[in-house]
Amino acid sequence: MITSNKRWRLLALLAVFAMVVAACGDSGETTDTTAAATTDTTAAATTDTTAGEEVTETTEASMVGGTVRGSLTEPPSIDPQLISDSEGFEVGRLLFDGLTLYDPAGGAVIAGVAESWEPNEDNTVWTFHLRDGVTFSDGSALVAQDFVDGWNRLADPDLASPVAYHGSLAGIVGWDDINGGEVSGVVGDDVVEGIVALDDLTLEVTLNSGLAFLPKIFAHPAFSPVKIALTESDGWADMPIGNGPYMMTQPWQHEVSISLERYDGYYGTAGNPDAVEFVLISDPVVEYQALLDGQIDVLDLGDPALYEQGEADFPDSFTELNTGVFQYLGFPTQTPPYDNPLMRKTLVQATDREAIATRILKKDVANGFVPPVATGAVQDQCAACVFDPEAAKIAFDELGGIPGNKVTIAFNAGGGHEDWIEAVANDWTNNLGLEVEFLTLEWAAYLEFLGLTGGPPAVEPFRLGWQWDYPSAYNFLGPLYDSRTADNFTRYNNPEFDALLDQATSAATEEDSIPFLEAAQILLGEEVPVMPMTYGLARTVYTDAVSNVFYNDFGFFLWEDIVVNG
């Protein structure tokens, strides 16, 4: 997510709170801003708690209904094959159901449109059996061909989808030939060899090489089914028609709102709220104001500077939850002195990561390379991750230090990274005597610096984060450190590591792949191509207008389960 210039607005907000309390509060009542705000919320909560208790005691039928309102930043697209950010994902998940769905409890996938599936003996040919009677919200019946059409559309170079790489990730036979092939001017005229509808309810997918956790990949909205004729209609981009628990009855009002209504023909468990409305807001502090006002009911506090405020204002609903995100400082492993693992180790060892994580980033420190919520994650197996400035200094001097005694750390401006990057720099200065400079770039320029635009890779240590596509350790290890993948921004290249990943992907079951994934993480702990900082930790709050609010480790609310208090 791209946000900017939040800090000064937040300071202003805090200053304003002080002013408002001074102006509006009775002089004898309170002197403290937080206390004043809390008083208000508690007062409101007391009146409504009684109502809330009554709701839980009555029958289940009364839990259904109402409109739950949340906020999103305007997504680039809600077309399932074009969704490229977390905001679009949140909408797409409610509008479309894939073959599999992310388990709300986290870590796994559950049956979606496919009620069952089985691979051949080497996991290269997968057969998915679809439920009978699944319909799109326009009433038409869903058949296996709708998946074939949707996926061919994703692969079609004429769509030029930024998320077409998901098909390569899965390794579907013929995908790269089609996606990298000639542009014809028409979307939907290409056929990927490895995707075949055997009949209306059977889909067969053929892969270049075996992949035990393929069903996890197919839970992504990019693999949604579509009625291909509808995708060519004018209204599609603003009002796509899907097969999920909610549907659109009015087009997306750009930068204003996206309104969804429950789809009564949904094959699965019906959602609780009658409607889900997303108010589109571009700034985290403005979102928080909207929550205080009651314009929205639930909020993921995106800005660390809002955590304390949120906890003080909404003490009863404030919740913390681990999510599938990994934040790190990457080393350019092909550039001296960072090409030496021992040098990388001393830099990590000299950094008091725990203090930085807990005090500045307000999260637990990451002592591994994969968030614990992902299958196959290993923690505390990274010797270099233990803070030991004396040992680091000795090793640093033995290595002969760094020429010029000067290093540069790169980060993107406006993302709230200044403070912790500066703290890392202070540690390197105090513990190793290094002079540290900063390279601050705006987002689009930063991506270019990282080598995302086809240019040379980063040559200075850089900060970055990775959010999983599916809940497996492989999704953190493969893309970031496999020497053969494009997102390996550190250009880490270790044949031993690549071999372990190959063994993991060709394992018979996901369970069998875990020992290899664990070994790969232990190897990373020795080589530290990146310095782990934190894992994802979401802080959410909600008003007393709603209850039964749950957040998923994917980073979204389970909107369909929320109960709007009557």
Partner 1 sequence: MPDVVRYTARRLLLMIPTFIGATFLVFFAGFALPGDPIAALGGERSMSESTRQQLIERYHLDEPVWQQYFRYMGDVLQGDLGVSILRRREVSDIFKEVFPRTVKLAGLAIAIEIVMGLSAGVLAALKKDKFLDQLVLVSTTFAVAIPVFVLGFAAQNIFAIRLDIFPIGGIQDGAWSYVLPAFVLATLSLAYVARLTRTTLSESLNEDYVQTAKAKGLPQSRVVGRHALRNALIPVVTFIGLDLAGLLGGAIITETVFNIPGVGRTIVQAIGTRDHAIVVGLSIAAVIVYLVISLVIDLFYAVLDPRIRYE
Binding residues for partner 1, rule: CB under 8 A, are 2, 4, 8-9, 12-13, 15-17, 19-20, 23-24, 74, 76-77, 82, 84-85, 157-158, 160-165, 168, 176, 179-181, 183, 237, 254-257, 279-283, 285-286, 289-290, 292-293, 295, 441-448, 452-454, 464-467, 479, 486-487
User: Cα(385)–Cα(531) distance, rounded to whole angstroms?
Assistant: 8
- DSSP annotation of 494 reads -
User: Cα(127)–Cα(118) distance, rounded to whole angstroms?
Assistant: 5
Least separation in angstroms between residue 238's CB and partner 1 is: 9
Q: Are 468 and 171 in contact (CB under 8 A)?
A: no
Residue 465 vs 566, nearer CB to partner 1: 465
Q: Which of 365, 373, 357 is nearest to 304 (CA)?
A: 357
Residues 159/164/167/169 CA torsion (nearest 10 deg): 170
Q: What is the CB-side half-sphere exposure of residue 566 using CA atoms within 13 A?
A: 14
Residue 337 vs 415, nearer CB to partner 1: 415
User: Cα(1)–Cα(309) distance, rounded to whole angstroms?
Assistant: 22
Least separation in angstroms between residue 95's CB and partner 1 is: 18
Least separation in angstroms between residue 175's CB and partner 1 is: 10
On the 0-12 / 13-18 / 19+ scale of CB atoms within 10 A, 204 is: middle
- For residue 51, count other CB atoms closer than 10 A to its CB: 11
Least separation in angstroms between residue 130's CB and partner 1 is: 29
Residue 9 vs 362, nearer CB to partner 1: 9
Residue 64 vs 439, nearer CB to partner 1: 439
Least separation in angstroms between residue 96's CB and partner 1 is: 18
Least separation in angstroms between residue 346's CB and partner 1 is: 27
How many angstroms separate the Cα of 282 from the Cα of each of 4, 40, 69, 444? 10, 27, 16, 18
Residue 89 vs 266, nearer CB to partner 1: 89
Residue 447 vs 558, nearer CB to partner 1: 447
Residue 76 vs 336, nearer CB to partner 1: 76
User: Cα(291)–Cα(295) distance, rounded to whole angstroms?
Assistant: 6
Least separation in angstroms between residue 126's CB and partner 1 is: 22
User: Cα(324)–Cα(554) distance, rounded to whole angstroms?
Assistant: 6
